[in-house]
Amino acid sequence: MKRQQFDSFTLPYLLIAPQLAIIFIFFVWPAAQAVYQSFMLEDPFGLASQFVGFDNFIEVVSNEHYARSAIFTAIFSGLVAFLSMAIALLLAVKADGILHGQSAYKIMLTWVYAVAPAVAGMMGVFLFDRSIGPLNHLFNATGWPFNPQLDVFDASVTVILVSVWKQISVNFIYFLAGLQSIPRAVREAALIDCRNGFRRFWTVTLPLLAPTGFFVLVINITYAFFETFGVIDTMTRGAPGGGTATLVYKVYQDGFLGADIGGSSAQSVILMILVLGLTIVQFRVIEKRIHY
Amino acid sequence: MKATKTIFAAAAGLAMLGAGAANAATEITFWHAMGGGLGETVNTIAKDFNASQSEYKLTPIYKGGYEETMTAGIAAFRAGEAPNIIQIFDAGSATIINAKGAVYPVASLLNENGVPFHAEDYISGVRNFYADSKGDMIGMPFNSSTPVLYYNKDALAKAGVQPPKTWEEFEEIAPKLKKAGYIALSQSHTPWIFSENFHSRHNIPLANDNNGFDGVATKINYNNEHMRMHFSKAREWQQAGLFGYYGSKWGDNQKPFIDQEVAMWLGSSGSFGGLKKSAKFAFGTTNLPYWNSITKGEEYTTFIGGAALFAFSGKEKAQNEGVAKFFQFLTKPETQFFWHKETGYVPITNAAYKLAQETGYYNDEPDAEVGIQQLNQKAAANNKGYRLGYYVQIREVMTREYDQVFAGTKSVDDAFAAIEDGANKLLARFAKTVQ
């Protein structure tokens, strides 16, 4: 095979320059700014700035509320990712098995994808409203003194439910595509070898679906960490008692609302490291067990 | 075809008109946080100002809520593109006032641009909040309100009680309201009503350095016996079904009053206009209750909440003159009276208050006068307001702790210890940034 070669040395670089510029302007530069600001203490208007070393980080980490927020974020992200993936997988498997009217089900299950997180949050506000919310009334009718305005657990339930609902459709699309890419021959062979549908799913379908599942896991963790911001901002704003403030929401509260640039930069650097670490773990540990 | 031509000609004509106006008039930008109906009232005032003269053209721009507007202003200032005027809310005032050289103090701006400034022209409860320790205004009070008590007249009649003047009286009537089928009270802003104005109403210092007016304060005084007493009481009332705490959002606490579940509600004197539209019952307005046991019979004024207008420095002389002219227009009795009537915010000058009295407005709307009467009550050392850095976050700490007190997951003592600790850390941090 003939090797494609550019005649000039600069042309390839010129061709990738636009892409590099975009990455630099929108990713590298802001990240570098955040790292720089996290070591500085500055007044909101940027009139006086001083280097404070790791002071911002120490203050953030020693803050009791930050630790609580980190724990909430871990539980929240874990539950959102797990529930939205599990429900989506169930729905995808069921939708895949339908012979008639499959597209109707598919459309019904995927349209939610088009709903913006903030809109989903607003729907949540109405559904869980104290006086007009049907879900609120339903929970109360079951004898659960459901009160998301005061109770952290109840408020967490509302944001988790809405965040999961919002994410199911995305996961559903991926899982369904993954299921449909499993070769027919393999399925038929499995059908002959094993009559138990559940076992067949565990031993044949699921392993073959693992690459899709891994990808979905990565995007779900990112979703639960960052994109649920809109849901939380519209529904609880971190209340009650700061109990539903995720780490990302705290960056917004301290930096954007509170004008503490150094402190919130330190928080976002910590978050960057956390997500980086999480992604590395996912790729190193989990991916090794997956066969493409 | 002909129609298109006419439209073209009209458009060209308009464009020329626009260009002509732009050449003649100095543009002044005004960023504000007044959405909905309030925003339309702001637009009306701007239109009237533009119509009243031809030298300046004021453009009001809505930038979102209070926090968003402040952040937008800060970002614009850092990028060298600050507007001429920005609306900054009470909790953010320390941030902008401590930014040395960022703002052109209103008193100097007016005096240096041909509009004499007299502090005495302004209502006493209004004039000090955004002023320096000498009383010279740095920000021009704009939408000013103060916490007052609204009561459902039918509910109180049913229970056979009068609206309470003091918290002691409240304790007497609350069980009767409960018997009549109501939760006696809710309130919409725990930091503002139950904390900041609690200190003013009882003349208790809120922070060191004269509540932050004489320097950059570093010690908060919220963890005091009176506050702990008041919140212990409120928690007891809540458990006895006399007080409803519906989380930390304004509307969530107002709604039960509108729905007639709650008989009395503490809100803003500016809430009056909105309530008239949403409440399907007769309501009355009276002063914020106080503890007789603390003030020993005295009744001190509350201070204002809301926001003020600040002029950014480093602008052209002509623009600053325009800002001064606009402030002059804004503080005219007629403009203030219009603003007061349309929005329920208090008029900020004595002349405007007098005008409102003379026109007989308060005979028709006695509720509209309560806020301003309360702001004219006895003033002492701790009724000016407060000036504390990172106060938006301090309020966040307070809200967080109060939520836990009323959810029953934290004791009053522990919550106030946490507020003191959290607030002092933030104040210390702010003090470091401005030195």
Contact B71 A45 (CB under 8 A): no
| Nearest residue to B289 via CA among B230, B223, B347 | B230
**Any CB–CB contact under 8 A between A149 and chain B?**
yes
Task: Tell me which chain B residues have a C-beta less than 8 angstroms from the C-beta of A243.
Answer: 403
Which of B74, B101, B410 lies at the smallest CB-CB distance from A44? B74
**Any CB–CB contact under 8 A between A227 and chain B?**
no
DSSP string, B311-363: EESS--HHHHHHHHHHHHHHHSHHHHHHHHHHH-PPP-BHHHHHHHHHTTHHH
Nearest chain A residue (CA) to B391: A258
Could you tell me how many residues make up chain B? 435
Please tell me the distance from the alpha carbon of residue B386 to that of residue B200, in angstroms, as a whole number: 10
Q: Looking at the structure, do residues B297 and B177 belong to the same domain, yes or no?
A: yes
Task: Tell me which chain A residues have a C-beta less than 8 angstroms from the C-beta of B102.
Answer: 45, 47
| Nearest residue to B74 via CA among A43, A52, A30, A120 | A43
How close does chain B come to A58, measured CA to CA in Å?
A: 13
Nearest chain A residue (CA) to B70: A257
| Nearest residue to B257 via CA among B148, B341, B364 | B148
Q: Looking at the structure, do residues B173 and B237 belong to the same domain, yes or no?
A: yes
The residues of chain B scoring below 50 in pLDDT are 1-3, 12-22
- State the pLDDT at residue A286: 77
Which of A48, A50, A150 lies at the smallest CB-CB distance from B407? A150
Last residue of a domain, one of B339, B368, B397: B368
Task: Tell me which chain B residues have a C-beta less than 8 angstroms from the C-beta of A149.
Answer: 246-247, 249, 252
Please indicate, yes or no, if residue A145 is contained in any of the structural domains. Answer: yes
Give the number of domains in chain B.
Answer: 2
Burial class (CB within 10 angstroms; exposed 0-12, middle 13-18, buried 19+) of B19: exposed
Residues 6+ apart with CB under 8 A from A201: A93
Cis peptide before A240 (omega within 30 of 0): yes
Please indicate, yes or no, if residue B4 is contained in any of the structural domains. Answer: no
Contact A259 B396 (CB under 8 A): no
**Any CB–CB contact under 8 A between A260 and chain B?**
yes
Please indicate, yes or no, if residue A7 is contained in any of the structural domains. Answer: no
Contact A42 B249 (CB under 8 A): no
Instruction: Render pLDDT for B298-332 as a digit per residue (tens, 0 to 9).
Output: 999 999 889 999 999 999 999 999 999 999 999 99
- State the pLDDT at residue B8: 52
Alpha-helical (H) ranges within chain A are: 11-23, 29-38, 55-62, 64-97, 102-110, 117-127, 134-141, 152-180, 184-193, 197-200, 206-222, 229-235, 247-251, 261-281
Q: What is the CATH number of the domain that holds B55?
A: 3.40.190.10
Please indicate, yes or no, if residue A244 is contained in any of the structural domains. Answer: yes
| Nearest residue to A191 via CA among A174, A205, A172, A211 | A205
Which of A253, A259, A262 lies at the smallest CB-CB distance from B74? A259
- State the pLDDT at residue A3: 62
What is the extent of the structural domain holding A149? 63-289
| Nearest residue to A71 via CA among A274, A231, A247 | A247
Helix (H) / strand (E) containing B28: strand B26-32
Strand segments, DSSP code E, in B170-302 are 183-187, 243-244, 262-268, 283-286
Residues 6+ apart with CB under 8 A from B261: B182, B183, B244
Please tell me the distance from the alpha carbon of residue B394 to that of residue B422, in angstroms, as a whole number: 7
| Nearest residue to B49 via CA among B309, B327, B356 | B327
Alpha-helical (H) ranges within A48-151 are: 55-62, 64-97, 102-110, 117-127, 134-141
Please indicate, yes or no, if residue B189 is contained in any of the structural domains. Answer: yes
How close does chain B come to A96, measured CA to CA in Å?
A: 44
- State the pLDDT at residue A111: 86
Q: Looking at the structure, do residues B164 and B274 belong to the same domain, yes or no?
A: yes
Q: Looking at the structure, do residues B33 and B136 belong to the same domain, yes or no?
A: yes
Please indicate, yes or no, if residue B383 is contained in any of the structural domains. Answer: no
- State the pLDDT at residue B1: 42
Which of B95, B248, B390 lies at the smallest CB-CB distance from A240? B248
Contact B74 A149 (CB under 8 A): no
Handedness of CA B302, B307, B312, B317 (dihedral sign): negative
Contact B433 A239 (CB under 8 A): no
**Any CB–CB contact under 8 A between A30 and chain B?**
no
Q: Looking at the structure, do residues B94 and B198 belong to the same domain, yes or no?
A: no
Please indicate, yes or no, if residue B195 is contained in any of the structural domains. Answer: yes
Contact A130 B255 (CB under 8 A): yes
Please indicate, yes or no, if residue B320 is contained in any of the structural domains. Answer: yes
Contact A253 B393 (CB under 8 A): yes
Q: In the structure encoding, which two tokens stand for residue B117, read together?
A: 């400034």
Nearest chain A residue (CA) to B421: A63
Contact B390 A253 (CB under 8 A): no
How close does chain A come to B78, measured CA to CA in Å?
A: 6
Last residue of a domain, one of B333, B368, B403: B368
Contact A239 B100 (CB under 8 A): no
Task: Tell me which chain A residues have a C-beta less than 8 angstroms from the C-beta of B390.
Answer: 258-260
Residues 6+ apart with CB under 8 A from A274: A247
Q: How many CB pairs under 8 A join A and B?
A: 104
Please indicate, yes or no, if residue A34 is contained in any of the structural domains. Answer: no
Task: Tell me which chain B residues have a C-beta less than 8 angstroms from the C-beta of A43.
Answer: 98-99, 433-434
What is the extent of the structural domain holding B104? 26-145+304-368
Please tell me the distance from the alpha carbon of residue B211 to that of residue B196, in angstroms, as a whole number: 11
DSSP string, B276-291: HHH--S-EEEEPPPB-
Please indicate, yes or no, if residue A199 is contained in any of the structural domains. Answer: yes
Q: Looking at the structure, do residues B270 and B402 belong to the same domain, yes or no?
A: yes
**Any CB–CB contact under 8 A between A130 and chain B?**
yes
Task: Tell me which chain B residues have a C-beta less than 8 angstroms from the C-beta of A152.
Answer: 407, 409
Please tell me the distance from the alpha carbon of residue B214 to that of residue B387, in angstroms, as a whole number: 9
Please tell me the distance from the alpha carbon of residue B415 to that of residue B421, in angstroms, as a whole number: 10
Could you tell me how many residues make up chain A? 292
Q: Looking at the structure, do residues B270 and B326 belong to the same domain, yes or no?
A: no
Please indicate, yes or no, if residue B67 is contained in any of the structural domains. Answer: yes
In terms of DSSP bridges, do strands B85-89 and B26-32 run parallel, antiparallel, or are they unpaired? parallel
Q: In the structure encoding, which two tokens stand for residue A115, read together?
A: 């709903």
Q: Looking at the structure, do residues B404 and B278 belong to the same domain, yes or no?
A: yes
Nearest chain B residue (CA) to A263: B429
Q: Looking at the structure, do residues B109 and B90 belong to the same domain, yes or no?
A: yes
Give the number of domains in chain A.
Answer: 1
Q: What is the CA angle B411-B417-B418, rounded to 5?
A: 90
Contact B403 A44 (CB under 8 A): no
- State the pLDDT at residue B47: 97
Which of A43, A149, A262 lies at the smallest CB-CB distance from B99? A43
Nearest chain B residue (CA) to A59: B425
Contact A41 B248 (CB under 8 A): no
Contact A59 B95 (CB under 8 A): no
Are B320 and B113 spatial neighbours (Cβ–Cβ below 8 Å)? yes
Q: Looking at the structure, do residues B141 and B155 belong to the same domain, yes or no?
A: no
Please indicate, yes or no, if residue B404 is contained in any of the structural domains. Answer: yes
**Beta partners for B151?**
B264, B284
Please indicate, yes or no, if residue A282 is contained in any of the structural domains. Answer: yes
Residues of B with CB under 8 A from a CB of A: 67, 70-71, 74, 77-78, 92, 95-96, 98-102, 245-249, 252, 255-256, 259, 390, 392-393, 396-397, 399-401, 403-404, 406-407, 409-410, 422, 425, 429, 432-435
Contact A239 B96 (CB under 8 A): no
Handedness of CA B339, B340, B346, B352 (dihedral sign): positive
- State the pLDDT at residue A1: 52
Please indicate, yes or no, if residue A58 is contained in any of the structural domains. Answer: no
Are A259 and B391 spatial neighbours (Cβ–Cβ below 8 Å)? no
Q: Looking at the structure, do residues B221 and B351 belong to the same domain, yes or no?
A: no
**Any CB–CB contact under 8 A between A47 and chain B?**
yes
Looking up tokens 């349309």, which residue turns up? B342
Please indicate, yes or no, if residue B154 is contained in any of the structural domains. Answer: yes
Please tell me the distance from the alpha carbon of residue A171 to that of residue A86, in angstroms, as a whole number: 9
Over chain A (292 residues), the average pLDDT of each successive run of 10 is 70 91 94 94 89 94 92 96 96 84 83 89 93 92 93 96 94 92 88 85 88 90 92 94 94 90 94 89 79 68
| CA distance readout (Å), B363 to A23, A89, A244, B225, B357 | 66, 68, 48, 41, 8
Instruction: Render pLDDT for B156-183 as a digit per residue (tens, 0 to 9).
Output: 999 999 999 999 999 999 999 999 999 9
| Nearest residue to B369 via CA among B353, B392, B380, B383 | B353
Task: Tell me which chain A residues have a C-beta less than 8 angstroms from the C-beta of B67.
Answer: 256-257
- State the pLDDT at residue A292: 66
Q: What is the CATH number of the domain that holds A195?
A: 1.10.3720.10
Please indicate, yes or no, if residue A44 is contained in any of the structural domains. Answer: no
Q: Looking at the structure, do residues B74 and B207 belong to the same domain, yes or no?
A: no
Nearest chain A residue (CA) to B410: A241
